[in-house]
Amino acid sequence: MNNLTNNDFELITQLLDGELSSEQAAEVTKMIESSPEMQAEMDRLSEISNAIREDDEEFVPPKKAKDNVFLALGIPLAVSAPSLTSMSSEIANLISIGAAFTASLLTFTMFYSLNDVDSSNVASNSNVPIVSSYEKAKDNNIIIEDEPIALEVVEDLSNSTNNSPIISPSNSIANRTTGYNNSVNTSSSSANANNDLSLNNNTVAIERTNNVSDNSSIIENINENKTPNTIDKRDLVSAWEANIITSRKTGIQTNNSIFLEGNALTSNGLTYTRDYLTIIRTKATSNNLNSGQFDISFLTNYFATDVRGIISAGLSWYDQNSNPDLRSPVFVGGGIEYTPTFTSLLANGYFDSFINGQLFLGSNPSYKMEVGISTTLGGVTNFPIVIGYTRNYVRDYQFIRQELNDGLFIGTEISF
Amino acid sequence: MGSKLDKYSDPELFELVQSQGKLADSAFSELYDRHSPRVFAYCRRFLGNKEEAQDVLQEAFIRLYKSSNSDREMTNVPAFILTIARNLCVNSQKKKKPLVSYEDYMFVRDNNNDDNELLDLIKMAMETLPEEYKEVFILREYEGLSYQDIADITETSLNNVKVRIYRAKQKIKDILEPYLVDLNKHEKDE
């Protein structure tokens, strides 16, 4: 019977395939010479290989296959004719320029229109993330004079356990009003109010008004333990033009989730939030729609020295070579994402801008750089839209020495 | 028309296609003429179906052309096309119903003369191989690729390729064993 081991078979196979080094080949040849069984095995395998080598069956691709390919690509069948492909690339360029222009216009429009927020618009928009805070009132130069002003309480403080002063001490009316804190009926708070604040933040919205008679009537209401007229807290945003700190959310968010959230802290006299947010961002690029990207970022400003800065680290899987349908065209990398909120430039809460750079593990010096913004268009959309520019460079991947893809991208993100 | 382009290497032709210049289409045509027979043969052997093989061939070259839009530097065009074709074949095989058309059946049977008897048996034995063994066997025996190239194309390790090729050959040899023994006897008798 056959006493050959699997290893013997493997060595014979590799010898016949020319996959052994010269030293190994010499060694195996000696073994075969001394073993009739190995010789017989080699003969059988050689017979099969020789038969295949003599297979002169021709596989001529049908003529129409080439025509079909050229037709599908828009190349004239007589290739000496002027190329249509150059025309298609011009169209592609036009589309790219158009996309870039549209994105710029959109950004410009959003920036200027949303910076001048009309309070009625904001009030009607239930998607705007708003939390007011005491520090914010100070930071935004709201001067409360010693004039009769109305105090309106929006938040449902009924569950609040913290009774610390919540109104600027420089406001005499406010000082007077604090005496009524416990008697104010706040049950008429807006349905959109952030109830989390009642648990964590001592938040009262203040609005200036010149209508003295209205003020007195409200004070009367307070004295009579009546519910004062209230306005939605979000109406006050335009008056503040504040750097909005979003409220804490739980669970996966597809709306109003583009901002960090959490407790307001003060550093060097400036207010900021310290928190974290996990974002899954998916994008399609303009130059190669097959080249989708998928990022997971963990954003936090915990270590940021810039009070408005947010740092994130994340992973990215992006399909660099899906066009030729390679089997596993996925790169995994890690990197840093810096998310400046451009306090002075975009002094509202409708944008979250990011700059992201990643190096790809196992494929250096491959990298990805991207800049973009995430916005819900001030709450118009029910999900954040991510727009930006990306540049991906991959080197030494299989048969490709290097590949560079860059272009605009658009996508969305969820956060939790 | 393509006589001048005959002298160009594959990477040079691919660069011409990328340049989108006057010679781009001719260069692509040259690449097609140069590699389509091999790719078609591979697809035909892999899929065993002429129509499917043609579909895959067309799609592979369309993708090759589209891949020239990116700023990539190609080092091994044949392996690149073969990789595309191979992936398309694998995808196609997954969707394929386990049916053999009359024409494909006859494709094997028509060649059934004495000279090709062993080849026909090899083809039939090949059909019994698991897909991962079959593809490495075709790439090695019919395409003559090195183990490393096969590993690159199939995106698996070199050791895996070694094992798969060895097992594929063993299996085919086991199936053909009675025939080979018989054949040897006849040769000795003669």
- Give the DSSP letter string of A322-389: TTTT-S--EEEEEEEEE----TTTS-SSSEEEEEEEEEETTSTT-EEEEEEEEE-TTTTSSS-EEEEE
Q: Cβ(B50)–Cβ(B44) under 8 Å?
A: yes
- Res. A142: pLDDT tops 70: no
Mutation target vs A (from B18, B52, B58, B113; most A CBs, 10 A cutoff): B58
CA dist A348 and A238 (Å) reads: 10
CB of B112 within 8 A of CB of B20? no
Does A254 score more than 50 pLDDT? Answer: no
Distance from C-alpha of A317 to C-alpha of A332, rounded to nearest angstrom: 5
Which residue of A15, A79, A93, A290 is the best one to mutate when testing the B interface, meaning the one whose CB has the most B CBs within 10 A? A79
* pLDDT mean over A66-89: 63
d(CA B19, CA B140): 34
Q: What is the mean pLDDT of residues A334-344?
A: 60
Q: Which residues pair with B131 in a beta bridge?
A: none
Structure tokens at B3: 């006589």
- Any bridge partners for residue B159, and if so which? none
pLDDT at A391 over 60: yes
Predicted confidence at residue B161, as pLDDT, reads: 92
A143-158 pLDDT, tens digit per residue, is 344 444 444 444 444 4
Using DSSP's 3-state secondary structure scheme, residue A229 falls into coil
How far is it, in rounded angstroms, from Cα B2 to Cα A181? 91
CB contact under 8 A, A288 and B69: yes
What is the pLDDT at residue B61?
92
Asked if A48 lies within 8 A of B72 by C-beta distance, the reply is no
Are B82 and B143 in contact, with CB atoms under 8 Å apart?
A: yes
- CA–CA separation, A318 and A282 (whole Å): 9
Size of interface A-B (CB pairs under 8 A): 167
pLDDT of residue A139: 38
HSE-CB at A97 with a 13 A cutoff on CA atoms is 6
How do A292-300 and A270-273 pair as beta strands?
unpaired
- Please identify among residues 97-116 of chain B the ones whose CB lies closer than 8 Å to any CB of chain A: 111
| Cross-chain Cβ contact B37/A59 below 8 Å | yes
Nearest CA in chain B to A407: B70
Residue A353 has pLDDT above 90, yes or no: no
Which value does ipTM take for this structure?
0.77
Q: Please answer yes or no on whether B70 and A58 come within 8 Å at the CB atom.
A: no
* The pLDDT of residue A163: 42
Q: How far apart are CA A217 and CA A68, in angstroms?
A: 83
Output the tens digit of pLDDT for each of chain B's 190 residues: 445 788 889 988 998 898 888 888 889 999 999 999 889 988 988 888 888 899 999 999 998 888 887 777 888 888 888 888 988 888 887 776 555 555 555 555 454 454 577 788 888 888 888 888 998 999 998 888 899 989 988 888 898 999 999 899 888 888 888 777 776 666 666 5
Mean pLDDT of A227-255: 37
| Cβ-contact A222, A184 below 8 angstroms | yes
pTM: 0.52
- Determine which of B19, B25, B28, B32 to mutate to test the interface with A (most A C-beta atoms within 10 Å): B25
Name the residue type at position A152: E
Report whether B42 contacts B106 (CB < 8 A).
no
| Of A54 and B9, more confident | B9
Residue A65 has pLDDT above 70, yes or no: yes
| B88: nearest CB among A14, A73, A325 | A325
The answer to whether the peptide bond before residue A365 is cis (omega within 30 degrees of 0) is yes
What digits encode the pLDDT tens for the residues A155-199?
Answer: 444 444 444 333 333 333 333 333 333 333 333 333 333 333 333
For residue B12, give the nearest of B25, B29, B31 by alpha carbon.
Answer: B31
DSSP string, A7-30: HHHHHHHHHHTT-S-HHHHHHHHH
Measuring CA to CA, which residue among B99, B80, B92 is closest to residue B14?
B80
Q: Which member of B36, B122, B169 has the closest CB to residue A61?
A: B36
| Closest C-alpha among A294, A336, A342, A300 to residue A319 | A294
Q: A264-267 and B73-74: which strand pairing?
A: unpaired
CA dist., res. A351 & res. A113, Å (int): 12
The C-alpha atoms of residue A366 and residue A331 are separated, in whole angstroms, by 9
DSSP state of B46: H
CA distance linking residue A35 with residue A28, whole number of Å: 10
State the sign of the Cα–Cα–Cα–Cα dihedral A303, A304, A305, A307.
negative
Q: Is the CB of residue B20 less than 8 Å away from at least one CB of chain A?
A: yes
Q: What does the pLDDT look like over A292-309, one tens digit per residue?
A: 677 777 776 666 545 445
Are A326 and A294 contacting, i.e. CB atoms less than 8 angstroms apart?
A: no
Tokens of B84: 């595309």
From chain B, pick out residues whose CB is under 8 angstroms from the CB of A61: 36-37, 39-40, 54, 57
Token pair listed for A371: 């800049």
For the record, the structure tokens of A120 come out as: 């009625």
The residue among A333 and A216 whose pLDDT is bigger is A333
Residue A103 has pLDDT above 90, yes or no: no
Tell whether B25 is within 8 A of chain A (Cβ): yes
Contacts of A402 in chain B (CB under 8 A): 71-73
Nearest CA in chain A to B147: A19
Contact predicate B25/A75, CB 8 Å: yes
Closest of A352, A371, A379, A367 to residue A404, by C-alpha: A367
- Which residue matches tokens 């964590």? A200
Angstrom distances, CA of residue B6 to CA of A32, B40, B63, B111: 44, 20, 22, 34
- Which residue in the set B39, B65, B162 is minimally distant from A10, CB to CB? B162
Q: How confident is the model at residue A382 (pLDDT cuts 50, 70, 90)?
A: confident
Q: How many CB atoms lie within 10 A of CB A309?
A: 15
pLDDT at position A173, please?
34
CB pair distance less than 8 Å for A65 and B111: no
Which of B67, B169, B172 lies at the smallest CB-CB distance from A323?
Answer: B67
- pLDDT band of residue A12 (cuts 50, 70, 90) is confident
Residues A243 and A348: their CA atoms lie apart, in Å, by 6
Pairing of strands A292-300, A311-319: antiparallel
What are the chain B neighbours of A8 within 8 Å (beta carbons)? none
Query: Which among B84, B44, B46, B79 is positioned nearest to B64, based on CA atoms?
Result: B84
Summary mean pLDDT of chain A: 59
Q: Provide Rg for chain B, Cα atoms.
A: 19
**Cβ-Cβ contacts under 8 Å for A345 (sequence gap 6 or more):** none
User: Greater confidence, A77 or A143?
Assistant: A77
**Residue A228 has what DSSP assignment?**
P
d(CA B48, CA B125): 13
B66–A85 C-beta distance less than 8 A? no
Alpha-carbon gap: B61 to the closest alpha carbon of chain A (Å) = 7
Which stretch of A275-289, A387-401, B103-117, B127-141 has the lowest confidence by average pLDDT?
B103-117
Closest-CA residue of chain A to B24: A83
Give the 3-state secondary structure of residue A153: coil
Does pLDDT of A237 surpass 60? Answer: no
